[in-house]
Protein backbone atom coordinates (compact mmCIF):
# COMPACT_ATOMS: atom_id res chain seq x y z
CA UNK A 1 0.00 0.00 0.00
CA UNK A 2 1.39 3.42 -0.96
CA UNK A 3 2.21 5.61 1.98
CA UNK A 4 3.89 8.41 -0.01
CA UNK A 5 2.82 9.82 -3.36
CA UNK A 6 4.67 12.60 -5.20
CA UNK A 7 2.56 13.88 -8.07
CA UNK A 8 4.27 16.16 -10.55
CA UNK A 9 6.18 17.94 -7.76
CA UNK A 10 8.53 20.82 -8.52
CA UNK A 11 10.55 23.00 -6.18
CA UNK A 12 11.72 26.22 -7.72
CA UNK A 13 14.03 28.68 -5.99
CA UNK A 14 14.11 32.18 -7.36
CA UNK A 15 16.80 34.74 -6.77
CA UNK A 16 16.20 37.98 -8.63
CA UNK A 17 15.71 37.03 -12.27
CA UNK A 18 17.37 33.71 -11.65
CA UNK A 19 15.28 30.54 -11.34
CA UNK A 20 16.66 27.26 -10.05
CA UNK A 21 14.57 24.10 -10.39
CA UNK A 22 15.82 21.91 -7.56
CA UNK A 23 13.08 19.40 -8.37
CA UNK A 24 11.43 19.31 -11.73
CA UNK A 25 8.05 17.57 -12.13
CA UNK A 26 8.84 14.58 -9.99
CA UNK A 27 6.31 11.78 -9.53
CA UNK A 28 6.63 8.49 -7.64
CA UNK A 29 5.03 6.45 -4.91
CA UNK A 30 6.51 4.61 -1.91
CA UNK A 31 4.99 1.60 -0.21
CA UNK A 32 4.64 1.30 3.52
CA UNK A 33 7.35 -0.54 5.42
CA UNK A 34 9.93 -0.32 2.65
CA UNK A 35 13.53 0.74 2.94
CA UNK A 36 14.05 3.37 0.27
CA UNK A 37 17.37 4.93 -0.73
CA UNK A 38 17.44 8.15 -2.72
CA UNK A 39 20.73 8.24 -4.54
CA UNK A 40 22.38 11.02 -6.47
CA UNK A 41 25.35 13.33 -6.72
CA UNK A 42 25.59 16.65 -4.88
CA UNK A 43 23.05 19.17 -6.12
CA UNK A 44 20.86 16.48 -7.71
CA UNK A 45 17.86 17.47 -5.61
CA UNK A 46 17.79 14.51 -3.25
CA UNK A 47 17.86 16.61 -0.06
CA UNK A 48 15.14 18.87 -1.48
CA UNK A 49 13.05 15.80 -2.03
CA UNK A 50 13.63 14.67 1.55
CA UNK A 51 12.85 18.13 2.91
CA UNK A 52 9.56 18.22 1.02
CA UNK A 53 8.64 14.78 2.25
CA UNK A 54 9.64 15.77 5.79
CA UNK A 55 7.47 18.89 5.75
CA UNK A 56 10.49 21.18 6.13
CA UNK A 57 9.67 22.79 2.82
CA UNK A 58 6.64 23.08 0.52
CA UNK A 59 6.53 22.34 -3.20
CA UNK A 60 6.19 25.13 -5.75
CA UNK A 61 4.05 22.89 -7.92
CA UNK A 62 2.34 19.50 -7.60
CA UNK A 63 1.03 17.58 -4.62
CA UNK A 64 2.59 15.35 -2.00
CA UNK A 65 0.30 12.87 -0.32
CA UNK A 66 1.38 11.05 2.84
CA UNK A 67 -0.93 8.44 4.37
CA UNK A 68 -3.74 9.81 2.22
CA UNK A 69 -3.32 13.46 3.31
CA UNK A 70 -2.07 16.18 1.01
CA UNK A 71 0.79 17.89 2.84
CA UNK A 72 1.69 20.35 0.08
CA UNK A 73 -0.79 23.01 1.16
CA UNK A 74 -0.48 22.74 4.94
CA UNK A 75 -0.01 25.81 7.14
CA UNK A 76 3.08 26.23 9.33
CA UNK A 77 1.31 24.80 12.37
CA UNK A 78 -0.19 21.90 10.42
CA UNK A 79 3.24 21.10 9.04
CA UNK A 80 4.64 21.18 12.58
CA UNK A 81 1.95 18.71 13.65
CA UNK A 82 2.75 16.56 10.62
CA UNK A 83 6.42 16.50 11.55
CA UNK A 84 5.56 15.71 15.13
CA UNK A 85 3.28 12.79 14.31
CA UNK A 86 4.25 11.30 10.96
CA UNK A 87 7.99 11.68 10.29
CA UNK A 88 11.17 11.23 12.25
CA UNK A 89 14.50 12.69 11.18
CA UNK A 90 18.05 11.46 11.43
CA UNK A 91 20.65 14.00 10.27
CA UNK A 92 24.24 13.75 9.15
CA UNK A 93 25.33 15.96 12.06
CA UNK A 94 22.89 14.46 14.59
CA UNK A 95 21.41 17.79 15.67
CA UNK A 96 20.96 16.87 19.29
CA UNK A 97 20.22 19.71 21.69
CA UNK A 98 23.59 20.34 23.37
CA UNK A 99 22.06 21.61 26.61
CA UNK A 100 19.92 18.50 27.15
CA UNK A 101 21.21 15.15 28.36
CA UNK A 102 20.89 11.96 26.35
CA UNK A 103 17.70 11.03 28.18
CA UNK A 104 16.23 14.52 27.89
CA UNK A 105 17.00 14.70 24.17
CA UNK A 106 14.98 11.55 23.57
CA UNK A 107 12.29 12.35 26.13
CA UNK A 108 11.87 15.78 24.53
CA UNK A 109 9.68 14.42 21.74
CA UNK A 110 7.09 13.12 24.17
CA UNK A 111 6.15 16.80 24.69
CA UNK A 112 4.79 16.96 21.15
CA UNK A 113 4.00 13.41 20.14
CA UNK A 114 0.86 11.71 21.44
CA UNK A 115 2.09 8.26 20.53
CA UNK A 116 5.61 8.62 21.89
CA UNK A 117 7.36 5.45 23.00
CA UNK A 118 9.32 5.16 26.23
CA UNK A 119 12.49 7.23 26.09
CA UNK A 120 14.54 4.92 28.32
CA UNK A 121 13.32 1.94 26.35
CA UNK A 122 14.48 3.48 23.10
CA UNK A 123 17.86 4.45 24.57
CA UNK A 124 18.20 0.88 25.79
CA UNK A 125 17.44 -0.36 22.29
CA UNK A 126 20.35 1.68 20.90
CA UNK A 127 22.56 0.40 23.74
CA UNK A 128 23.28 3.63 25.53
CA UNK A 129 21.52 3.21 28.88
CA UNK A 130 24.85 3.87 30.59
CA UNK A 131 24.92 7.35 29.13
CA UNK A 132 21.48 8.56 30.14
CA UNK A 133 22.80 11.60 32.00
CA UNK A 134 25.59 12.50 29.62
CA UNK A 135 25.44 15.55 27.42
CA UNK A 136 25.82 15.00 23.64
CA UNK A 137 29.26 16.60 23.68
CA UNK A 138 30.40 13.82 26.00
CA UNK A 139 29.56 11.13 23.42
CA UNK A 140 31.33 9.94 20.29
CA UNK A 141 29.87 10.68 16.85
CA UNK A 142 28.48 7.15 16.53
CA UNK A 143 26.89 7.34 19.95
CA UNK A 144 25.33 10.68 19.13
CA UNK A 145 23.88 9.27 15.94
CA UNK A 146 22.43 6.33 17.87
CA UNK A 147 20.74 8.77 20.22
CA UNK A 148 19.47 10.67 17.21
CA UNK A 149 17.92 7.41 15.91
CA UNK A 150 16.40 6.72 19.33
CA UNK A 151 14.91 10.21 19.36
CA UNK A 152 13.51 9.83 15.85
CA UNK A 153 11.90 6.49 16.65
CA UNK A 154 10.67 7.57 20.07
CA UNK A 155 8.06 9.74 18.34
CA UNK A 156 6.75 6.55 16.81
CA UNK A 157 6.54 8.07 13.33
CA UNK A 158 5.29 6.33 10.23
CA UNK A 159 8.29 7.32 8.16
CA UNK A 160 11.91 7.68 9.18
CA UNK A 161 13.84 10.18 7.05
CA UNK A 162 17.62 10.06 7.15
CA UNK A 163 19.89 12.59 5.47
CA UNK A 164 23.38 11.06 5.02
CA UNK A 165 23.14 9.39 8.43
CA UNK A 166 26.63 7.91 8.14
CA UNK A 167 28.21 10.87 6.38
CA UNK A 168 30.08 12.12 9.44
CA UNK A 169 31.13 8.70 10.73
CA UNK A 170 34.04 6.40 9.98
CA UNK A 171 33.05 3.37 7.94
CA UNK A 172 33.03 0.91 10.84
CA UNK A 173 30.79 3.09 12.96
CA UNK A 174 28.74 3.92 9.88
CA UNK A 175 27.97 0.24 9.27
CA UNK A 176 27.07 -0.25 12.89
CA UNK A 177 24.71 2.72 12.85
CA UNK A 178 23.18 1.61 9.59
CA UNK A 179 22.52 -1.86 10.92
CA UNK A 180 20.91 -0.43 13.99
CA UNK A 181 18.79 1.90 11.91
CA UNK A 182 17.50 -0.88 9.72
CA UNK A 183 16.92 -3.30 12.57
CA UNK A 184 15.00 -0.74 14.54
CA UNK A 185 12.94 0.36 11.56
CA UNK A 186 12.14 -3.26 10.76
CA UNK A 187 11.26 -4.09 14.35
CA UNK A 188 8.92 -1.16 14.59
CA UNK A 189 7.58 -1.58 11.06
CA UNK A 190 8.62 1.84 9.79
CA UNK A 191 9.10 3.09 6.27
CA UNK A 192 12.63 4.35 6.01
CA UNK A 193 13.95 6.80 3.46
CA UNK A 194 17.69 7.46 3.34
CA UNK A 195 19.25 10.16 1.21
CA UNK A 196 22.86 9.43 0.34
CA UNK A 197 25.45 9.50 -2.38
CA UNK A 198 26.96 6.28 -1.03
CA UNK A 199 26.28 3.54 -3.64
CA UNK A 200 26.93 0.81 -1.07
CA UNK A 201 23.98 1.79 1.07
CA UNK A 202 21.75 1.51 -1.99
CA UNK A 203 22.59 -2.21 -2.15
CA UNK A 204 20.66 -2.72 1.08
CA UNK A 205 17.49 -0.93 -0.07
CA UNK A 206 14.15 -2.36 -1.18
CA UNK A 207 13.76 0.58 -3.53
CA UNK A 208 16.43 2.83 -5.02
CA UNK A 209 15.42 6.17 -6.53
CA UNK A 210 18.18 7.78 -8.58
CA UNK A 211 17.98 11.52 -8.90
CA UNK A 212 19.91 13.82 -11.22
CA UNK A 213 19.43 17.48 -12.09
CA UNK A 214 16.17 17.64 -10.23
CA UNK A 215 14.57 14.76 -12.08
CA UNK A 216 14.14 11.11 -11.28
CA UNK A 217 16.45 9.10 -13.50
CA UNK A 218 15.08 5.70 -12.50
CA UNK A 219 13.40 3.80 -9.71
CA UNK A 220 14.67 0.30 -9.03
CA UNK A 221 12.98 -2.27 -6.83
CA UNK A 222 15.49 -4.78 -5.47
CA UNK A 223 14.10 -8.29 -4.86
CA UNK A 224 16.96 -9.38 -2.62
CA UNK A 225 18.64 -6.50 -0.94
CA UNK A 226 21.90 -7.21 0.90
CA UNK A 227 22.30 -6.95 4.64
CA UNK A 228 24.83 -4.50 6.06
CA UNK A 229 27.23 -7.36 6.74
CA UNK A 230 27.06 -8.53 3.17
CA UNK A 231 27.94 -5.19 1.69
CA UNK A 232 31.58 -4.50 0.98
CA UNK A 233 32.31 -1.15 2.61
Residue 2 CA to residue 7 CA, distance in Å, equals 13
DSSP-assigned letter for residue 75 = -
Q: Binding of another protein at residue 155 (CB under 8 A)? A: yes
Is the separation of the CB atoms in 87 and 159 below 8 Å? yes
3 state SS of 200: helix
SS3 215: strand
CA atoms within 13 A on the CB side of 105: 28
d(CA 73, CA 117): 29
Residue 137 as a binder of another protein (CB under 8 A): the answer is yes
By beta-carbon proximity to another protein, the closer residue of 136 and 214 is: 136
Which one of residues 7, 57, 60, 188 is an interface residue with another protein (CB under 8 A)? 57
Residues for the chain: how many in total?
233
Identified binder of another protein from the candidate list 58, 60, 62, 91, rule CB under 8 A: 91
- 129 lines the binding site for another protein (CB under 8 A): no
Piece of the chain touching another protein by CB under 8 A; list 8-16, 106-114, 119-127, 205-213: 106-114
If one asks whether residue 67 binds another protein (CB under 8 A), the answer comes out as no
Residue with Cβ nearer another protein (83 or 210)? 83
Element of type H or E holding 223: none
Binding of another protein at residue 42 (CB under 8 A)?
Answer: no
* Residues near another protein (CB under 8 A): 47, 51, 54, 56-57, 76-77, 80-85, 89, 91, 93, 95-100, 104, 107-109, 111-113, 135-138, 151, 155, 168
Amino acid sequence: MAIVKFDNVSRIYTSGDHELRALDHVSFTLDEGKFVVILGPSGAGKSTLLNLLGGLDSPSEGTITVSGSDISKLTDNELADYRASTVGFVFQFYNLIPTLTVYENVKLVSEISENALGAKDMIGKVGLLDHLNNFPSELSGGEQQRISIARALCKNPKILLCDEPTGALDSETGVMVLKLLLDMAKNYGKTIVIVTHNQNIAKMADVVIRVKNGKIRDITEQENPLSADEVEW
